[in-house]
Amino acid sequence: MLFLSLSIWACNNKPEVKEAERNAEAREDSAKYAEAVRLQSLISFAVEADVETDNVLADSLDDSADDPAIWYNTAKPELSLILGTNKKAGLYAFDLSGKTKNFIPAGKINNVDLRDGFNFKGKEYVLVAGSNRSLNAISLFLIDKDSAMLTDTIANIPSGVSEVYGICLYKNAKTKAFYVFVNGKEGDFEQWEINAENTKGLNFKMVRKFGVSSQPEALAADDATNTLYLGVEESGIFKMNALPDADTTMTRLAQSDTSSNKNIAYDIEGISVFEYNNQKYLMASIQGNFSYAIYKLGNEDSYLGSFKIVNGSFDGVEETDGLDVLSVGNLPNFPGGIAVFQDGFNHDGKQLKSQNFKYLSLDKLKDLLK
Ligand code: CA
Ligand code: CA
Ligand code: CA
Ligand code: CA
Ligand code: CA
């Protein structure tokens, strides 16, 4: 009897081993990986991560962690949160030391973003939106600012895009209206308005649909200028007007494609817009050479340079999907701000672990942020 159950156990486990092998082939044992390492060696500006988070709960060979979002807690900066998706399972909240505060098993949350100042049932919260691939929906969560805790899912907005993928929130600086942009793998986009005007609950309204011709992922909105930035994986970084009634003409950022910039090696993945010393910048993760490109934004957008995150107290960072950058505030240990990166290959010594996120003090990039 024991023998029989053991053989069934072995049998049932076989397909999983095969899947792990396939994942390993896709992720590591490839000419693409070797080429990315070779190209990374051509990037000279190198920094080391300051913190790494707990590993997400997944197999070490799974592509699991994906996208972070930073919440700056104005009342208690030391209780700020870093949200991070596990695209196989849900959404994590980590503290500034990288320890898990809580985990919401909300489904396959791919990307995440947040905005402060959301009024819901008579109280002000942080609104959190995640692209949920289990439901093909936009999942909404809150951060309770008093307890500095991420809540359970409060609503799911069913999306009509091909397969939800990238997501970002946008809060109109003038009207204070909240919007969420979501895209699908086919390049289709939806823009939804979200409000909680009455005490009964949330209202959603789709305000715009548009599309691009190849696969987009990263999205980031600059509330102050009503601009939506899009990373289109194999074509560059584009910007367009985020206002719901604006036309959808897109303009490519100069030097954001491979033909005009040797440091751009597709895919382009996570993007974030941030301010540093009163100047606005955009950072993008460039998966094809395990690096990050920085653009100065203004009347004329320009490429400033690229950097990489190498081994130090923690392992270096490779094949980053999502990233987020925040420079305002007064975070303990991160005086000039913080940048958070998904790490596609999280090593502890020589051992490959399940994926996690790395934090970087933004001041380490000050010579690039000119
Ligand atoms: Ca990945
Ligand atoms: Ca994000
Ligand atoms: Ca990708
Ligand atoms: Ca790594
Ligand atoms: Ca590590």
What is the whole-number distance in angstroms between the Cα of residue 272 and the centre of ligand 4? 20
User: Residues 272, 173: one domain?
Assistant: yes
pTM over 0.75: yes
Ligand closest to Cα of 67 equals 2
Residues 111 and 156 in one domain: yes
Q: Based on the domain organization, do 130 and 270 belong to the same domain?
A: yes
233 and 170 in one domain?
A: yes
Same domain, 30 and 114: no
Greater confidence (17 vs 77) lies with 77
Per the prediction, the chain carries an average pLDDT of 91
The pLDDT assigned to 164 comes to: 97
Q: Is residue 178 part of a domain?
A: yes
Q: What is the CATH number for 173? A: 2.120.10.30
pLDDT at 215: 82
The total domain count for the chain is 2
Compute, in angstroms, the gap from residue 304 CA to the centroid of ligand 3: 24
Do both 117 and 213 map to the same domain? yes
> Span 242-259, mean pLDDT?
96
Residue 284 falls inside a structural domain: yes
Q: Is residue 240 part of a domain?
A: yes
> Residue 227 to residues 67, 92, 241, 249: CA-CA distances in angstroms?
21, 28, 5, 12
Helix (H) or strand (E) holding 359: strand 356-361
The alpha carbon of 238 and the centre of ligand 4 are apart by a number of angstroms equal to 28
Is position 168 within any domain? yes
Between 14-23, 190-199, 242-251, 291-300, the lowest mean confidence (pLDDT) is in 14-23
DSSP 233: T
Average pLDDT over residues 84-101: 98
Same domain for 114 and 21? no
Instruction: Based on the fold, state whether residues 241 and 340 are members of the same structural domain.
Output: yes
Rounded to the nearest angstrom, the distance between the alpha carbon of 309 and the centre of ligand 4 is 9
Instruction: Give yes or no: residues 307 and 219 share one domain.
Output: yes
Of the candidates 183, 205, 184, the one whose C-alpha atom is nearest the C-alpha of residue 194 is 205
Question: Ligand 4: distance of its center to the CA of 122 in Å?
Answer: 43
pLDDT tens digits, one per residue of 289-340:
999 999 999 989 999 999 999 999 999 999 999 999 999 778 999 999 999 9
Ligand nearest to the CA of 339: 2
Ligand 1: distance of its center to the CA of 321 in Å?
5
Task: Look at residue 150 and tell me if it is in a domain.
Answer: yes
Query: Which structural domain range is residue 12 located in?
Result: 1-41
Q: 16: Cβ–Cβ under 8 A, 6 or more apart, which residues? A: none
Q: Report the SS3 class of residue 368.
A: coil
Q: In this structure, is residue 370 part of a structural domain? A: no
Residues 26 and 113 in one domain: no
Q: What's the burial of 59, exposed, middle or buried (CB within 10 Å: 0-12/13-18/19+)?
A: middle
Same domain, 30 and 86: no
Nearest ligand to the CA atom of 269: 3
Q: How far is the CA of 320 from the centre of ligand 4 (A)?
A: 9
Residue 353 CA, ligand 2 centroid: distance in Å: 22
* 96 and 226 together in one domain: yes
